[in-house]
Amino acid sequence: MGNIIEYIKMAFKNITANKGRSFLTMLGIIIGISSVIMVMAVGDGTANAMNAEVQDLGSGQINVYCSDNAANAQEWITPEDLMALKENVEGVDGATPNDGSSGTTITGKGEFSITLSGGTEDLQKSLNFMIKRGAYFTAADVEEGNRVCVISDSDAKRLFGSDDVVGMDIEVTIGPITGSYRIVGVTQQKENTSFISYTYEGMPVSLEVPYTSFETFGWESDSFYSVVVFANDQASGEEVVRDIIHTLETRHRCAGEDYFQIQSFQDMLSEMNNILAIVTTFISCVAAISLIVGGIGVMNIMLVSVTERTREIGIRKSLGAKTSSILLQFLAEAAILTIMGGIIGILLGLLGAFGACNLMSASMGSAISPGIKASTILGATLFSCGIGVFFGIYPARKAAKLSPIEALRRN
Amino acid sequence: MDNLIKVQDMCKIYNPGENEVRALDHVNLEIERGEFVAIIGHSGSGKSTLMNMLGCLDVPTSGSYYLNGKDVSAMKDNQLSEIRNQEIGFIFQGFNLIANLTAIENVELPLIYRGIGRSQRHKLAKEALIRVGLEKRIGHKPSEMSGGQQQRVAIARAIAAKPPVILADEPTGNLDSASTEEIMGILKGLHEAGRSVILITHDNEIAEQAKRVVRILDGKIVEDYYNAEKKAQEA
């Protein structure tokens, strides 16, 4: 097979001798490969951008719920459980109840509906907001059940027309009871991104308060349906989750009862990624069909070429070309056509991906750059080569099997 | 030493059965090295079939064929390709050059299939083109040459690899008289240089220019003589 370079040269000669036809043959492959590359690059790029934003929102955040089983057994997560999780589970930085309520407040700017998120001081880990003024409420505030709150600068402006509000009071009415919350901190509201909306039109004013302060409004604050645990970056997600469940089950003596359920941020993220991957794969499959059609186009042209060049094949055979030589020459031709088509397709696909991402970035207001993976490009190249060889086999065999006498007889 | 060509009792039957055609009917033929033989016959006489057999393009139905000491009558396709490549240089009536290759690329083809490296190939091909007087045309494509020139390229292709047998099938059939003379001159020159040349033709004038004439009719050899001897007898 030392002659393989010669066969490749012959194939190149034939391809360049029929430039127009070669290009048309490649067109199907070009379209197929470029659409696959483009879809995959845009899909990966979108996933990357989304992941980056969502990671920013709350990586390492693990939600722990009480299941229906626990509710039936009247088992809830307690403040002591939270302490135990923080102290006993390695990798856990904080834990807070995820308690909430809603009410109204009236200020000089009018009446506003209001949501209160009750937690420990660890609640500040949940949305890594920047503190703009003042400070977050403290463990002591939680301990004493102080009615203090943290508000975002944009909400402060809605309520008071200014974000310089530390030390001011907000009268919060929940049900029949009104209580006054003192503002101790102002956070900087995050801008909305392509995938996450932090604010929306008509959104209630949001306050973060010590969960113990809810006692003012007449309900106990010693058992929770759901809590949030914060794992640090070094912790392995699965291990932390296992330890959390183990600790809770030990404390409630309910091993195997399935009382506590976990939803970690990673789970949600990978779920989202799965959905995106399915969509990308689906679109890629549709695009891949055009590749197969392109492959059939290559086969078709190669068959025509075999018929047209029957005499040439006869000449070559009479001069000593073996069956394998002819086979290789025609296979090389099909492979080169599809590889060239593949390369042009990759370039066009990348170009298209950049174009599409620019358009998307412009319309969504955040930067999406195409996710270009070496594996995608390598895969596309190999795939196009594979198509060339696969769809080239039939015509090449047909050519190689011609008898030299028959072939020479034809014009 | 063996004969260059030794055909024994060779038959070729097409469509065996009721409508069978005996294209070759118990043919016996021996050709020595260095001979210049013309095989002559009308169309349908079986000379093309004999040429296909001698050229290892086809295998006989029965009988044996030794080419340069090798029994080729029972060879498979790929072995036949190899024999054609190493033992035979073909010259065809229709030149059979590949249109999109230049003269020298056409001449190099059999050398490629023989697995000869690039520089050696180029050297041999150039030598052969010089031998047929086309050193100025090596970069030309067939469409840029006259019929006579194309046939000279084909001759160069046939002799480049220095095969023991040159097999020419009606080499002048498509040529005017001037070119015919030219081509016959080259073939005679090759014979004089010691090559074995087998010429297949229907033309008595052409056949007379060979040293030996083998006449075939209805698949049988009916005459086999040396031109010189015959002329002497006639005289």
Chain B residue with the nearest C-alpha to that of A326:
B113
| Domain presence at residue A78 | no
Across the A/B interface, how many CB contacts are shorter than 8 Å? 63
| Phi and psi angles of residue B140, each rounded to the nearest 5 degrees, phi first | -90, 150
- The complex's ipTM works out to 0.92
Which structure tokens are listed for A338?
Answer: 């599809």
**In b/e form, how buried is each residue of B157-173, taking b as 16+ CB within 10 angstroms?**
bbbbbebbbbbbbbbbb
**In b/e form, how buried is each residue of A109-147, taking b as 16+ CB within 10 angstroms?**
eeebebebbbbbbbbbbbeebeebbbebbeeebbeeebb
Cβ–Cβ gap A3/B78 under 8 Å: no
pLDDT value, residue A246: 86
| Domain presence at residue A68 | no
CA A22 to CA A13: how far, in whole Å?
Answer: 11
Domain identity same for A275 and A214: no
Domain identity same for A298 and A363: yes
pLDDT value, residue A237: 66
Q: What is the pLDDT averaged over residues A19-30? A: 88
Of A223, A238, A260, which residue constitutes the final position of a domain?
A: A223
Of A223, A258, A286, which residue constitutes the final position of a domain?
A: A223
Residues in chain B closer than 8 A to A3 (CB atoms): 112-113, 115
Domain identity same for A301 and A367: yes
| Domain presence at residue A41 | yes
Q: Is B120 on the interface with A (CB under 8 A)?
A: no
User: What number of other Cβ atoms are within 10 A of residue A391's Cβ?
Assistant: 26
pLDDT value, residue A64: 86
Residues in chain A closer than 8 A to B100 (CB atoms): 13-14, 17
Could you give the 3-state DSSP secondary structure of residue A18?
coil
For residue B78, give the nearest of A316, A318, A322 by CB distance: A322
Indicate the pTM of the whole model. Answer: 0.70
Q: Is B93 on the interface with A (CB under 8 A)?
A: no
User: Residue A289: which region, alpha, beta or left (left: phi > 0; alpha: psi -120 to 50)?
Assistant: alpha
| Domain presence at residue A163 | yes
| Domain presence at residue A261 | no
Domain of A367?
Answer: 4-55+270-409
pLDDT value, residue A365: 67
Mean pLDDT for chain A overall? 84
Domain identity same for A215 and A290: no
pLDDT for residue A391 is more than 70: yes
Mean pLDDT for chain B overall? 92
Q: What is the pLDDT averaged over residues A324-329? A: 90
| Domain presence at residue A74 | no
Domain identity same for A300 and A358: yes
pLDDT tier for residue A195 given thresholds of 50, 70 and 90: low
Residues in chain B closer than 8 A to A314 (CB atoms): 96
pLDDT value, residue B149: 94
pLDDT tier for residue A281 given thresholds of 50, 70 and 90: confident
Domain identity same for A19 and A133: no
Domain identity same for A288 and A199: no
| Domain presence at residue A257 | no
| Domain presence at residue A256 | no
Residues in chain B closer than 8 A to A324 (CB atoms): 78
Q: Is B17 on the interface with A (CB under 8 A)?
A: no
Domain identity same for A185 and A293: no
Instruction: Report which of A392, A393, A395, A408 is spatially closest to residue A312, judged by C-alpha positions.
Output: A408
Domain identity same for A289 and A399: yes
Residues of A with CB under 8 A from a CB of B: 2-3, 6, 13-14, 17, 311-312, 314-325, 403-405, 408
pLDDT for residue A88 is more than 80: yes
Of A189, A223, A257, which residue constitutes the final position of a domain?
A: A223
Domains of chain B by start residue, with CATH:
5-234 (3.40.50.300)
Question: Which are the contacts of B144, defined by CB distance < 8 A and separation ≥ 6?
Answer: none
Domain identity same for A281 and A396: yes
Q: What is the pLDDT averaged over residues A106-135? A: 83
For chain A, what is the domain count? Answer: 2
pLDDT value, residue A62: 83
Which structure tokens are listed for A258?
Answer: 């399935």
Q: Is B48 on the interface with A (CB under 8 A)?
A: no
Cβ–Cβ gap A318/B109 under 8 Å: no
pLDDT value, residue A1: 47
Domain identity same for A34 and A108: no
Cβ–Cβ gap A319/B84 under 8 Å: yes
pLDDT for residue A346 is more than 60: yes
CA B187 to CA B140: how far, in whole Å?
Answer: 23
Q: What is the pLDDT averaged over residues B212-230? A: 92
Domain identity same for A200 and A278: no
pLDDT for residue A287 is more than 90: no
pLDDT value, residue B141: 94
Q: What is the pLDDT averaged over residues A223-247? A: 79
* pLDDT tens-place string over residues B147-178: 999 999 999 999 998 999 999 999 998 899 99
CA B132 to CA A252: how far, in whole Å?
Answer: 104
